[in-house]
């Protein structure tokens, strides 16, 4: 026999009229429930409501579907850190994260960090932290997450934090310099307020 499922609380009804009466009585005023596969995401400060397929990775969603080019596919399998984005304050590998599991999360990419005027971007340019530049956004997001958590990192802590980011051009010595300088700028601007 055909049954009707309440989209708010999943109670089953035999007749559509009963479901309607139930919904009006119990759920009037509640926000409409999301259809299956629909997620809400805060991306670089903007609200998104997007229908995703269960097999989509967060990288596929951000890069291929939303057109933000910064999370790069380099290694193809969670070995290089180039696809790193910040989710709820933590640097994560977007290629190893399913988009459907990100409902309600807050995500930042390198574009968002640059648009917000974070000093890391300019110190990265100044210290030549990029050569081909393909892995650079993954370093920027990892570094931003570090500075959010640890505004005064030691060089050893920076190296540890960046240990999962591959750079085939070998820009490694420059990153701690840029991150330390950005940390100085951030602390000075906060001290001045």
Closer CB to another protein, 23 or 93, in the complex: 93
Question: Residue 169 interacts with another protein (CB under 8 A)?
Answer: yes
Looking at 19, 23, 43, 74, which residue binds another protein (CB under 8 A)?
74
Closer CB to another protein, 19 or 141, in the complex: 141
CA–CA separation, 70 vs 62, rounded Å? 9
Closer CB to another protein, 67 or 192, in the complex: 67
Looking at 45, 133, 154, 187, which residue binds another protein (CB under 8 A)?
133
CA–CA separation, 187 vs 167, rounded Å? 28
Instruction: Give me the helices (H) in 80-163, please.
Output: 110-115, 119-126, 136-149, 155-161
Min separation Cβ 105 and another protein, Å:
19
Q: Which residue has the tokens 């409409």?
A: 32
**Stretch near another protein under the rule CB under 8 A, chosen from 10-18, 22-30, 91-99, 171-179:** 171-179
Question: Residue 71 interacts with another protein (CB under 8 A)?
Answer: yes
Question: Residue 52 interacts with another protein (CB under 8 A)?
Answer: no
CA–CA separation, 188 vs 4, rounded Å? 60
Q: Is 188 exposed, middle or buried, given 0-12, 13-18 or 19+ CB atoms closer than 10 A?
A: exposed
CA–CA separation, 71 vs 169, rounded Å? 18
- Interacting residues toward another protein by CB under 8 A: 55, 63-64, 67-77, 79-80, 82, 109-111, 113-115, 120-121, 124-126, 128-137, 140, 159-160, 162-175
């Amino acid at each position: 026999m055909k049954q009707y499922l309440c989209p708010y609380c999943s109670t089953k009804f035999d007749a559509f009229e009963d479901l309607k009466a139930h919904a009006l009585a119990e759920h009037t005023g509640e926000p409409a429930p999301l259809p299956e596969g629909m997620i809400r995401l805060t991306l670089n400060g903007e609200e998104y409501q997007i229908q995703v397929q269960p097999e989509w990775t967060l990288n596929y969603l951000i890069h291929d579907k939303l057109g933000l080019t910064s999370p790069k596919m380099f290694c193809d399998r969670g070995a290089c850190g180039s696809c790193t984005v910040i989710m709820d304050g933590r640097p994560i590998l977007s290629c190893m994260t399913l988009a459907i599991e990100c409902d309600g999360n807050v995500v930042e990419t390198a574009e968002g960090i640059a648009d917000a005027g974070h000093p890391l971007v300019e110190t990265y340019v100044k210290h030549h932290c990029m050569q081909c530049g393909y892995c650079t956004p993954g370093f920027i997001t990892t570094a931003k997450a570090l500075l959010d958590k640890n505004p005064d990192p030691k060089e050893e802590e920076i190296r540890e934090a960046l240990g999962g980011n591959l750079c085939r051009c070998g820009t490694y010595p420059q990153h701690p310099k840029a991150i330390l300088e950005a940390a100085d700028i951030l602390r000075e601007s906060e001290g001045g307020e």
